[in-house]
Amino acid sequence: MKDIETLPDNYIDKMYINIGNKVKKIRTEKGLSQLKLAEAIGHKSVSIISLAEIYHNKQHFNIEHLVKIAYVLEVDVCEFFNE
């Protein structure tokens, strides 16, 4: 078991950045705009998608977002966590 004290300071930030990049990659491969994806998961504004994809001001997707996005994009939610 690892000690949490050894967790690098930027570990979580890097994970959120990776997830945002994966969402963007899959979204663009599927031909969906940020607005269409936002609307498809129940949001009226593109900001949740645009900010989380680039991790702007530490804005990130939560689990509910990721599950809905995976459903809409027809991928397994695990795709967002693959290296």
CATH number at residue 38: 1.10.260.40
Find out whether 33 and 43 touch, Cβ atoms under 8 Å: no
- Looking at the chain, the whole-number percentage of residues with pLDDT higher than 70 is 100
Find out whether 28 and 38 touch, Cβ atoms under 8 Å: no
Mean pLDDT, the chain, as a whole number?
96
Q: What is the pLDDT, as a whole number, of residue 22?
A: 98
- pLDDT higher for 82 or 55? 55
Backbone angles phi, psi at 66, to 5 degrees: -65, -40
Domain that holds residue 62: 9-76
**Structural domain tally of the chain?**
1
**What is the tens place of the pLDDT at every residue in 28-66?**
999 999 999 999 999 999 999 999 999 999 999 999 999
Question: H helices within 1-83, ranges in order?
Answer: 11-29, 34-40, 47-54, 63-73
Distance of CA 52 to the CA centre of its chain: 6
